[in-house]
Amino acid sequence: MTNTNSAVTTSIALGRTLQLHRFSRIMEVAVSLERALEIAYQHHMERKDELLSLTMASGRTLFDDLCSKVDDPRFDNSAMDGWAVREADCKEEATSLRIVGTSQAGSEEIPIIGAGEACRIMTGAPIPKGADAIVMVEDSTTELDNVTINGPARPGFIRRKGENLTKGTVALRSGSVLNPASISLAATMGHAEVRVVKKPNIAVIGVGDELTSPGEPLSESSIYESNTFGLSSLVDKMGGIPRRFDLIKDSIDNLRETLDEAAESCDAIITSGGVSMGEWDIVRRIMEEEGDVRFWKIMIRPGGPPLFGSWRGKPIFGLPGNPVSSHVVFTVLVAPWMSSSMGVDEDSRPRLANRVRVVMEEPLRGAPRKLCMRRISIRQEGDKLLGSTRTHQGSGNIHSMVAHNGLSLLPPDSDCEEGDTIDALWLI
Ligand code: AMP
Ligand code: MG
């Protein structure tokens, strides 16, 4: 990310601007989610590549287009076990043909057949010269050197050379995520190794005096820290390598040191906590004073206070501390940004959520001026998806993310009545 002194912002939500730190950069405040994504998309991580053996490449993103080294099928072959014949010989019922040999998958020497002849053939075996149709083994009876044809001779049972792919065809595009079918296709095309997008290292840093790692003794006023675990799991799910740093007690010097180390060793930084208005919201403070902030606050609920910018040239997302908020903001902001940075078409292969239309079984309250993402349970009934709510919706209640499998996408200032159809994210 470049650090210029003359950044110009196009639109400032709510008509507010903040002049920040010594470079007087103008950051945008209280932006829509769309605008937040637009800004974040302007500042990607560097897309690096590595060569991997195909056996290690499952779930990875292709760096280059992949073209076929061979025709598929490589030669005309049989789709059935049966008999390679001349179609013209089999017009009459119960034709008897002389057996001239066998074509097996992998066999090099293939008989040639002439009029009145048949060659035994296995699935995948080359079509003998002279044959133009296949009779299924089920439609035949054999006696010594002859076969009687009791069913149709079908040219359609011949799989033609190159009918799936011709040599040189790009069958897997750069940016496609290698699922089991595409791994199989890459092998079919002759690739033992594939060049994939290198997993980005993402620093995950928890900030807060009250936080104690699970497994350690709690004081009266401390709580178990959960966000760095959840966020690391999300980073992993998105195809990154999470690098968890030691928790930052609310000390700005300690935070600076850790951010410097993270910027040095990682491709991007995610913090959790400390981005609101309070005195101890040190991520916001240090970013204002020493970082480069592009936006602060998004018009969403939950998860209003995130910030985005760069620290020592590395993209940084300051996520809110409330566990549901950090999870939700990752899902709707960081996840698509990671996909976009890695060159993945997230629309066609979402890893965290599918956008769906849901009929609500209960009313839902929206939020003034904010996109409202309430936790909902989505289930299929007939040809409809139904949505309902179960537990307490507080942004501190991570259990609500476990008890539900979706998020409403209620537009700002809109409530939803029972029976209304709304947009929602169905979490994967
Ligand atoms: P903050 O954004 O720092 O004001 O924190 C908001 C709320 O989230 C507070 O109740 C914090 O205790 C809680 N919180 C902050 N960070 C974490 C974390 N890493 N794990 C669990 N809860 C957190
Ligand atoms: Mg805090």
Task: Check residue 257 and give its pLDDT.
Answer: 98
- Cα 268 to ligand 1 centroid, rounded to whole Å: 21
- Cα 392 to ligand 2 centroid, rounded to whole Å: 22
CB atoms within 10 A of CB 371: 23
277: Cβ contacts below 8 Å, ≥ 6 apart: 284, 305
CA atoms within 13 A on the CB side of 253: 0
Task: Check residue 12 and give its pLDDT.
Answer: 35
Residue of 272, 277, 397 best suited for mutating to test ligand 1, as the one with most atoms within 8 Å of CB: 272
Task: Check residue 13 and give its pLDDT.
Answer: 37
Instruction: List the structure tokens of 419.
Output: 């029976």
| Contact assessment for residue 161 and residue 73, using Cβ atoms and an 8 Å cutoff | yes
Atom of ligand 1 nearest to the CA of 275: 2
Task: Check residue 350 and give its pLDDT.
Answer: 72
Interatomic CA distance for residues 346 and 333, integer angstroms: 12
Ligand nearest to the CA of 211: 1
Residue 317: closest CA among 428, 227, 408: 227
Atom of ligand 1 nearest to the CA of 305: 2
The residue type found at 139 is D
- Cα 206 to ligand 2 centroid, rounded to whole Å: 9
DSSP state of 183: H
Instruction: List the structure tokens of 180.
Output: 């089991």
Atom of ligand 1 nearest to the CA of 225: 20
Q: Is the dihedral of CA 211, 215, 221, 227 positive or negative?
A: positive
Instruction: List the structure tokens of 403.
Output: 């008890």
Instruction: List the structure tokens of 387.
Output: 């949505």
- Cα 280 to ligand 2 centroid, rounded to whole Å: 7
**Paired residues of 148 in beta bridges:** 96, 141
DSSP state of 190: T
How far are the Cα atoms of 14, 210, 306, 315 from residue 207, in angstroms, in the given order?
A: 29, 9, 14, 18
Task: Check residue 392 and give its pLDDT.
Answer: 79
CB atoms within 10 A of CB 279: 7
24 Ramachandran zone, left/alpha/beta (phi>0; psi -120 to 50)? left
Per-residue pLDDT of the chain (428 residues; tens, 9 = 90+): 433 333 333 333 333 344 444 444 679 999 999 999 999 999 999 999 999 999 999 999 999 999 999 999 999 999 999 999 999 999 999 999 999 999 999 988 899 999 999 999 999 999 999 999 999 999 999 999 999 999 999 999 999 999 999 999 999 999 999 999 999 999 999 999 999 999 999 999 999 999 999 999 999 999 999 999 999 999 999 999 999 999 999 899 999 999 999 999 999 999 999 999 888 899 999 999 999 999 999 999 999 999 999 999 999 999 999 999 999 999 999 999 999 999 997 655 678 999 999 999 999 999 999 999 999 999 999 999 999 997 778 889 999 999 999 999 999 999 999 999 999 999 99
Task: Check residue 347 and give its pLDDT.
Answer: 59
Helix (H) or strand (E) holding 51: strand 49-53
Interatomic CA distance for residues 119 and 349, integer angstroms: 46
Interatomic CA distance for residues 298 and 22, integer angstroms: 24
Instruction: List the structure tokens of 348.
Output: 């066609």
Residue of 218, 227, 270, 285 best suited for mutating to test ligand 1, as the one with most atoms within 8 Å of CB: 227
Residue 311: closest CA among 268, 282, 273: 268
Give the residue whose CA is nearest to atom 17 of ligand 1: 321
- Cα 321 to ligand 1 centroid, rounded to whole Å: 4
Residue 249: closest CA among 211, 217, 223: 211
CA 109 to chain centre: 47
- 95-103 and 307-311: which strand pairing? unpaired
Atom of ligand 1 nearest to the CA of 278: 4
Instruction: List the structure tokens of 314.
Output: 């590395």
pTM for this prediction: 0.90
Interatomic CA distance for residues 199 and 49, integer angstroms: 8
The residue type found at 148 is T
Interatomic CA distance for residues 364 and 410, integer angstroms: 9
Residues with CB under 6 A from ligand 1: 206, 208, 210-211, 223, 225-228, 272-274, 276, 320-323, 396
